[in-house]
Homo-oligomer: A and B are copies of this chain.
Amino acid sequence: MKRTCVLYAIISIIGLSSCQQAGKGSETNMPDPQAEELFPKGNKITGKNFTGTAWLQMMIDNDSTLHAKMGNVTFEPEARTNWHSHPGGQILIITNGVGYYQGKGKPAQCLRKGDFVEIPPNTDHWHGAAPDDGFAHIAISLNTDAGDVIWLQPVTDEEYSQSIK
């Protein structure tokens, strides 16, 4: 856990300045799927577990061999997951754009292409795009015999604005 906290701290320090710069006068900037994306956007996500518009390209369904699940999620600006947790933990690998990860009770961390996040099991959190930028990440859910995801309440506009300012 110490390593994870150090990673969070480093990402926070680096991320805060770059995201503050990105927010100043930048135009809305969606990832270009032809030029930069590793994976296709896939299907628009429906249901109540996301705010705003996001897409999911499933890559590996949960199976009894790897005990893992993998997909690529693409968020439009301001789009984000609900609060949720993973009983077996998850890894995010950022492939495009600018966005945030926030663990409950901790500062939101700004994330860019090439960053990654280790999400410990049973940790309430959300992830999603910055207000003026699209965002895409690979999500690898681990140890899925323990369960995949527990969805919670939406991240309200007020929570979102407060967290990333």
Contacts and interface: CB of A to CB of B under 8 A. Distances in A.
Interface of A: 1, 3-4, 38-39, 59-61, 63, 65-68, 70, 89, 91, 93, 95, 113-114, 116, 118, 120-121, 138, 140, 142-143
A70 B118 CA distance: 10
29 contacts: A1-B65, A3-B61, A3-B63, A4-B63, A38-B38, A38-B95, A38-B113, A38-B114, A59-B116, A60-B91, A60-B116, A65-B89, A65-B118, A65-B120, A66-B91, A66-B118, A66-B120, A66-B121, A66-B142, A67-B142, A67-B143, A68-B89, A68-B91, A68-B142, A70-B91, A70-B116, A91-B140, A93-B93, A93-B138
Contacts of A4: 63, 65
Q: In the complex this chain forms, how many copies of it are found?
A: 2
A114 B67 contact: no
Nearest to A37: B114
Contacts of A60: 91, 116, 118
A156 B160 CA distance: 55
Contacts of A68: 89, 91, 140, 142
Contacts of A39: 114
A114 B120 CA distance: 26
Contact of A66 (B65, B93, B114, B143): B143
Most buried by B among A39, A63, A65, A95: A65
